[in-house]
Chain A
Amino acid sequence: EADIYQTPRYLVIGTGKKITLECSQTMGHDKMYWYQQDPGMELHLIHYSYGVNSTEKGDLSSESTVSRIRTEHFPLTLESARPSHTSQYLCASSEPNKNGYTFGSGTRLTVV
């Protein structure tokens, strides 16, 4: 059973719209991450957080922003969506010094 939830699962929106991708986890993990993955390509880290009020940019530059006001919630926002933002966005969390990440089911975003 998934303990990390992403909504929506699929989203098709028009260019210029503002969107927020939701990610919540019930495991009490401090560390949370957002990855972007194009079909058949590798995962790229775009944002991460080590706890409340902590957010950092990842290795891949992204026009999105994130916030971490509560431990369990790590939403990602695009102020003005463009077709180049079309991708799959995966949220993950981990415990300190524990093995591996737990991933959400992902949001597949299409901007038309």
Chain B
Amino acid sequence: GQNIDQPTEMTATEGAIVQINCTYQTSGFNGLFWYQQHAGEAPTFLSYNVLDGLEEKGRFSSFLSRSKGYSYLLLKELQMKDSASYLCAAPTPNDYKLSFGAGTTVTVRA
């Protein structure tokens, strides 16, 4: 199975940067996902890392270190609409089922 840990909550001000860390222990490795989930809504795909390094997509970037079992999601120029839960997820290698972390609730304040 997959064991995924991330902080429960983080607070930041509008325009700031926040980094959400995720550590994982997986039976094999087949990439790492980040999803965004607004309250009461379904998760939406943000990023997927399978190789080490930083992947940048506009205001959001995701980093992976396979040797350390570590990833982070970086949110820049925070906006109020970024207030949401951010889920770290890893698929099992053979059958590709996704296991999710408990999610990090990010609150953006004016």
Contact = CB atoms under 8 A, between A and B. Distances in A.
Say if A and B assemble together.
yes
Interface of A: 31, 33, 35, 40-43, 45, 48, 50, 58-59, 88, 90, 94, 96-97, 99-106, 108
11 contacts: A33-B98, A42-B87, A42-B100, A45-B97, A45-B98, A45-B99, A100-B48, A101-B98, A102-B45, A103-B43, A105-B41
Nearest to B6: A42
A108 B41 CA distance: 10
A41 B33 contact: no
A94 B98 CA distance: 10
Nearest to B2: A59
Most central of A35, A43, A50, A99 by chain B CB within 10 Å = A43
* Dominant secondary structure at the B interface: loop
Given A94-B96, A100-B33, A41 B102 contact: yes
Interface of B: 1, 31, 33, 35, 40-45, 48, 87, 95-103, 105
B65 to A, nearest CB: 19
A45 B100 CA distance: 9
A58 to B, nearest CB: 8
Given A31-B96, A48-B97, A94-B96, A42 B44 contact: no
Nearest to B48: A99
Nearest to A10: B40
